[in-house]
Amino acid sequence: MAMLTTAGMPAPVPLEIARSAGARRRGLLGRTGIEGALLLSPASAVHTLGMRFAIDVAYLDTALRVVTVRTMRPGRLGLPRFRARHVLEAEAGAMERWGIRRGVRVSVRDA
């Protein structure tokens, strides 16, 4: 499993990476929660149709810099973000706790 970090994050966060088309389509569907975060790569939009919980969504550019962060309730369709090349998903409230906001650069490393 990979780990997610930022310059201000006190401890790394467990990170799943969805690289295949099937894994990106599935995302967090069917789950009741997630420990850590899920990175969809490549991706520029997500939806929460059929989801069981609200999620935070951080849209990342090619350099893994946060373009924008949104909280999405279940049953929503997110619009594509023009500069986004990756999407980071976590349970609602997690991004704020981790200090992930617009302009922050995230790092992904193997555990």
Give the end-to-end CA distance of the chain in Å, rounded to a whole number: 6
Provide block-wise average pLDDT over 10 residues at a time, the chain (111 residues): 90 93 88 93 93 96 97 94 96 95 95 67
Backbone angles phi, psi at 27, to 5 degrees: 50, -125
CB contact at 8 A, 66 and 101: yes
pLDDT at 19: 86
DSSP alpha helices (H): ranges in the chain?
21-26, 94-98
The whole-number pLDDT of residue 26 equals 87
Nearest to 74 by CA among 51, 98, 58, 93: 51
**What's the rounded Cα separation, in Å, for the pair 111 and 101?**
24
At 111 the pLDDT is 67
Q: What is the DSSP letter of 53?
A: S
Report the pLDDT value the prediction gives residue 38, as an integer from 0 to 100. Answer: 96
Lateral strand order in the sheet of 13-18? 66-72, 55-60, 86-91, 37-40, 13-18, 2-6, 106-110
**pTM for this entry:** 0.93
The token duo for 89 is: 């998903």
